[in-house]
Structure 1
Amino acid sequence: MSDNLSELISTPLLPLRPDWQSPAHKRAAEHARALHAEDPDKYWEWVGRQQRWQRPWSTLREGELGDFTYYAGGSINVADNCVDRWAEDPRTRDKPAIIWEGEPGDSRTVTYAELADEVGRLAAGLSAVGVRRGDVVAIYLPNTVEAFVAVHACNRIGAIYTILFSGFSEEAVRSRLEQAEPKAVVVADASYRRGREVPLLDTLRAARASLPQQPVTIVLDRTGNARALTADETGYAELLAAQVEPAPMAEMDPNEPAFLIFTSGTSARPKGVVHSVAGFLVGTWANVRWQVGPEDDDVYWVAADVGWLTFPIQAVVGGLANGMTIVCYEGALDAPTPDRFYRICEKYGVTKLLAAPTVLRMLRGLGDALNDAHPLPQLELVTVQGEPLDSETFTWTNLHLGGGVPVVNAYGQTETGSTWTYPIHGVDSLKAGSVGTPVPGHTCAVVDDAGREVPAGVKGNLVITRPLPTLARSVWRDPARYTETYFTRFPGWYATSDEAVVDADGHLWVLGRSDDVINIAAHRISTMEIEEVVGSVAGVLEAAVVGIPDATRGTVPVAFVRLAAAAPADTVETIIAAAPGQLGKYVQLADVFVVDQLPRTRTGKTMRRLLRDVAAEGRTSGDTSAVEDLAVLEQIVTVVRDSKRKAEENK
């Protein structure tokens, strides 16, 4: 282990301040952990009993990783638990379920009773246009109230939904429609992003043109432009108005497919991961319970895009299953002015916030003066997930945002259906950069390539060692790919394909994808370790490090950095000297590319895979459909090509 990693994971524990602690939550967590210690399935039994069942289950769990079921024999409905359960309760029926704001400034607040009414009518509308239980419905919407409604309308009647990221290109939409073969698509005419309209309906029309079967298209008039609809299209508002009664609540088998989510990767054809009805419900309910610690008066802003699974986990299903009030914002967090994030927090009294770490780096980069002008006294928690959180950003947030708030750093994957290791909010001590310890119901190990568990302080492969309800159950129409991808490398365990290390306090550090662990002249090192060093250099706002092939050393690291306006003139030279100085002489950066922005998904996750392509080949390959702004990628390609051309000229 490098000295830098040893120093990183030796970061001291940060005990919670008294005002960050929750005695009631601590008692609940102690109960959950006691159940887990006895048997993790006893914990999942307890979680299951917190939901409303139409028929109780007869068998808690059958099978092992790769082929298992939970709650067999029971029946349950996700919409019933997330919407109707609260709408029927006099104490919560008039509680705001969703507080929505569009980028232009329009807004809408929907109570649980109002949400139940709209869900029931859209569910009836879907039935009226021919959608049946088990049919697929594609949801191609921006962050709107109607995205929540569409998901739960599908849940209500037992349709399988798949959410298409509203920034997808025509080809990305077509690829997913071809695989999913939806009976219907719910789409907005357009969405707003950084002051411009994104033409979703036009993109869908072009994408579906070559499909052998044309889906029924339900069009939400987001912009008010009243677009003319074709024969196979119907207006969202008109469809709802035509429904007199809500659709009946389907009684769903707990292990039936609830939805598909397509993961992007190095191939051009993403795979559709299948999540189950009860598994996703109970897992996300528990996820929000421990990561966020819901209180009756919370206003929870999930500052993510509905197309990123984090949003259904934390907002659409997990948040509503806990009866929370969710803030949903359509646009960019710094548009039309840099203070947009702060103004939303102030306007709606946000008490808890979830975002990608990049959002916090953006706020840090905007400067302390802006932060100081918006103290956000009601903010009680910031929680992040989706990519590694560097210690500098953790510390800045912990000390400055909202006057200083706890930062819960969580880890999970699309396939795990929730985050599953993090410090429980209000209970556990924090540690800058770590993802805490596995929460109840989850067990893992860090193993070497032969599957032998490694001791604390030694890097290895992160695996999950027991079934959990929220784990994906298959790959859509390709079960063999499911087994091959996740269960062949370490038979009997689920392979995350991430590298990790456990420190002396039992905290887990996820170091990045196994293919982000590079081998430099026979020395293995994670790119996260190098990023931590580069990011700590004065003047560096953000860094992303990737490994590229090298004929002599096997692999060499290169860094892409964003610099502050006041960064010293010799910052690049300082970066180049810092890596070998702190990590060892073998860690010599082959290049440092200074860029204006890094390529991100709409929710702020940095797309390191694309940076690796550009650094190695001068172009991108594979799937670029999740990139928010392709112009950023084009600018980076230009920077890399110019740098390499100058290097050739100087030889």
Structure 2
Amino acid sequence: MAEDFNVKLDTAMYYTPSEECTKDSWAGDYNQRYQEFVADPAAYWEKIARELEWYEEWDQVREWNYPHAKWFTNGKLNITHNCLDRHVFNQRRNKVAIMWRGETADEERIFTYKQLYQAVCRFANGLKSLGVEKGDRVCIYMPVVPEQIIAMLACARIGAIHTVVFGGFGVAALNQRIRGVGAKVVIAADVTFRRGKAIPLKTIVEEAVVNAPSVERIVVLRRDETKPVELHPEMEVDFNDLMENQPRECAAETMDAEDPLFILFTSGTTGEPKGIVHTCGGYMVGTYYTTKYVFDVRDNDVYWCTADPGWITGHSYGVYGPLLNGATCLIAEATPDFPDNGVWWNLIEEYGVTIFYTAPTAIRMFMRVGAEWPQKYNLSSLRVLGSVGEPLNPEAFEWYYQHIGNRECPIVDTWWQTETGMHMITTMIGEPMRPGFAGKPIPGIIADVVDKDGNPVPPGTGGLLVIREPWPSMMRTIWGNDERYQKYWNTIPGCYTAADLAVKDENGYIMVIGRSDDLIVVAGHNIGTAEVESALVSHEAVAEAAVIGKPDAMKGNVIKAFVILIEGYQASEKLINELTYHVRMTLGPIAIPSEIEVVDALPKTRSGKIMRRVLKAREMGMDPGDISTLED
């Protein structure tokens, strides 16, 4: 069982950030703030919510009908009013909101809050001219460019529900998400640029909408001037043409706090990705609060979150959280090792980045190429470092702390999920940091490590990570499948179960160990085993497939696949290459197995369920544990 293991905790080593970095931080005294929350949770969240602007105030802070919650019931708002109007009509109107850098130094665009506001309003008016209304779903399939953020905010402005799909996904994955939400409009780019090459996106969109009858129009941002794509006027419209001659004002739609803001798909264990639904009010409060108090965002900061908005980190801490706080955000299409391994450090020096938020995968990649790369650049502007997507192992923490933060910057190693919408566990600025441990629950969150019955386990004993009470930015449901949502709360009655294994030390610090379900975290991205298996089995040569995650020094995990071939097919290097390519084209490059092994049989229970842990144990040279249910 998940709780039946002990973890040997190394001799405690804590780092205390410098007083200069933590002086007068928004977080203040952690224990005092946490006790304030515990004493009156509703009053605590109400106080945060009042820092934002509402059209109408709420009747009740929280309505909890287990396992469903409502927050700020009957409150009226529009999140873009707080991201844009609130700044435009005060002293921040000419403050820089977004600085965008492409792959090369000559690709740069800057938007002040006023300019971003006008662009969002014009595109929102353009969407309305296409017939997009409140409640309609809009799919956004774009690279990291300002227009991606403009499209997201324009949808929110008029009450359309956006679903952003990562630009690295293939035809099948995009089609599945378009059909899943019944998207009325798809917004795409013709290409994305990566490592100096233009990678087509429009051709993927054209295939993905063939069997998507809900799609009425496709909006295309044309970027590649060397090979202009042809648009088909009966269905397609140019992004910039849609904005042309549109008014620079667009009244923000009045939204109820519980109206859906966006749907974001995350991998599931059953093959079907889960459409996580986040709502306007609670999500706004949660992302505003955590961006301000976890990152200690100030008016003179330059904030850079390296995540693509195709993932929840890009939503919460690349777009909404920073803009709600009136921050100046750097966004970049740049790959961390192109044209060389110094590109990110050069951007930090050039733009004077003060808050830097990235993934352990990137940190481990930089460790591999050597500290001489960041040492070539002046990183003294940095004052807060963040980590997200998977556990930050102690070795990576030490390297990040020493070579990027110069042993002065606090590191906030954040644990949270697509489903939670916001940070849940970290080491708040000013608190001692313990390498390998994310930290404690932030004020506003009650987290614990428990056994399968929900009982707390002793320090040093592994268990299941759970959240005991609802929080504002929690998902409200799974789009079209509320029963699946309820499983999060019914696995351990009375608790939200995160499907992560964890251990707590004697001081309450929590270390996240890994997944307890069939998800593989690859470079910070959740990949469902069933999704990859389904892609493999859809190839004519494959009868059955099983997928596991293998620990990897740089990516955290890589994917290994075991396949049984249909009679008549023989294992060969050519076939393995074909299968790899097939997964790439079906799901995208992020889901490609690093290794494919052809086998004669797969370990199964008597009921036919593949026992992936047996495969993993064999691969890792470990004891597979109880195999009494194994068929053979």
Separation of aligned partners in 2, 1:623 and 1:66:
37
Separation of aligned partners in 1, 2:393 and 2:25:
31
2:307–2:318 Cα contact (<8 Å) kept: no
Separation of aligned partners in 1, 2:581 and 2:294:
36
Separation of aligned partners in 2, 1:331 and 1:349:
17
1:40–1:442 Cα contact (<8 Å) kept: no
Separation of aligned partners in 2, 1:236 and 1:88:
27
Please provide the CA RMSD for this pair. Answer: 3.2
The range that moved more, 261-270 or 122-131, is 261-270
Question: How many residue pairs align between the two structures?
Answer: 563
Asked if residue 360 in structure 1 is aligned to residue 363 in structure 2, the reply is yes
1:201-230 CA-partner distances (Å, limit 9, x unpaired): 111011101222333111112223442211
For residues 160-199 of structure 1, the aligned pairs below 5 Å read 160-199=161-200
Separation of aligned partners in 1, 2:258 and 2:306:
30
In structure 1, list runs of 5 or more residues that go unmatched. 518-526, 529-545, 547-556, 563-596, 599-605
User: AA paired with 1:495?
Assistant: T
1:445-491 CA-partner distances (Å, limit 9, x unpaired): 221112222222221111111111101000111112211x3122112
User: AA paired with 1:368?
Assistant: A
User: AA paired with 2:437?
Assistant: S
Separation of aligned partners in 2, 1:331 and 1:464:
36
* TM-score, with length taken from structure 2: 0.83
User: AA paired with 2:101?
Assistant: E
Identity across the alignment (%): 32
Q: Select 1:282's aligned residue among 270, 285, 289.
A: 285
Q: In the TM superposition, what is the alpha-carbon distance from 1:330 to its structure 2 partner?
A: 1.0
C-alpha spacing 1:133/1:107, structure 2 compared with 1 (3 Å): same
1:104–1:192 Cα contact (<8 Å) kept: no
User: AA paired with 1:261?
Assistant: L
- Tell me which residue corresponds to 1:637: 596
For residues 465-504 of structure 1, the aligned pairs below 5 Å read 465-483=468-486, 485-504=487-506
C-alpha spacing 1:616/1:118, structure 2 compared with 1 (3 Å): same
Separation of aligned partners in 2, 1:330 and 1:49:
35
Q: In the TM superposition, what is the alpha-carbon distance from 1:29 to its structure 2 partner?
A: 5.5
Asked if residue 412 in structure 1 is aligned to residue 416 in structure 2, the reply is yes
Asked if residue 312 in structure 1 is aligned to residue 315 in structure 2, the reply is yes
1:102-137 CA-partner distances (Å, limit 9, x unpaired): 113301010000000011111111111000000001
- SS at structure 2 position matched to 1:35: helix
C-alpha spacing 1:278/1:108, structure 2 compared with 1 (3 Å): same
- Tell me which residue corresponds to 2:94: 94
- Tell me which residue corresponds to 1:568: none
The range that moved more, 261-270 or 316-325, is 261-270
Q: In the TM superposition, what is the alpha-carbon distance from 1:367 to its structure 2 partner?
A: 0.6
Q: In the TM superposition, what is the alpha-carbon distance from 1:620 to its structure 2 partner?
A: 8.4
- Tell me which residue corresponds to 1:581: none
The range that moved more, 182-191 or 395-404, is 395-404
Separation of aligned partners in 1, 2:37 and 2:415:
19
- Tell me which residue corresponds to 1:445: 448
- Tell me which residue corresponds to 1:50: 51
2:172–2:586 Cα contact (<8 Å) kept: no
C-alpha spacing 1:188/1:203, structure 2 compared with 1 (3 Å): same
Separation of aligned partners in 1, 2:59 and 2:439:
34
Q: In the TM superposition, what is the alpha-carbon distance from 1:36 to its structure 2 partner?
A: 0.2
1:375–1:401 Cα contact (<8 Å) kept: no
Asked if residue 512 in structure 1 is aligned to residue 527 in structure 2, the reply is no
- Tell me which residue corresponds to 1:246: 249
- Tell me which residue corresponds to 2:525: none
Asked if residue 157 in structure 1 is aligned to residue 117 in structure 2, the reply is no
- Tell me which residue corresponds to 2:608: none
2:27–2:294 Cα contact (<8 Å) kept: no
C-alpha spacing 1:449/1:27, structure 2 compared with 1 (3 Å): closer
In structure 2, list runs of 5 or more residues that go unmatched. 522-528, 530-547, 566-575, 601-614, 619-632
Separation of aligned partners in 2, 1:283 and 1:622:
40
Separation of aligned partners in 1, 2:329 and 2:557:
27
Asked if residue 229 in structure 1 is aligned to residue 189 in structure 2, the reply is no
- Tell me which residue corresponds to 2:433: 430
* TM-score, with length taken from structure 1: 0.81
Asked if residue 460 in structure 1 is aligned to residue 463 in structure 2, the reply is yes
User: AA paired with 2:449?
Assistant: V
Q: In the TM superposition, what is the alpha-carbon distance from 1:373 to its structure 2 partner?
A: 1.5
- SS at structure 2 position matched to 1:490: coil
- SS at structure 1 position matched to 2:443: coil
Q: In the TM superposition, what is the alpha-carbon distance from 1:244 to its structure 2 partner?
A: 2.3
For residues 599-610 of structure 1, the aligned pairs below 5 Å read 606-608=556-558, 610=559
1:391-447 CA-partner distances (Å, limit 9, x unpaired): 01101111111423322111001100112110112x211110111111111112221
Separation of aligned partners in 1, 2:312 and 2:162:
13
- SS at structure 1 position matched to 2:350: helix
- SS at structure 2 position matched to 1:6: coil
Separation of aligned partners in 2, 1:4 and 1:455:
10
1:266–1:623 Cα contact (<8 Å) kept: no
User: AA paired with 1:513?
Assistant: R
- SS at structure 1 position matched to 2:424: strand
1:131-165 CA-partner distances (Å, limit 9, x unpaired): 00000011111111111111111111111000010
Asked if residue 386 in structure 1 is aligned to residue 389 in structure 2, the reply is yes
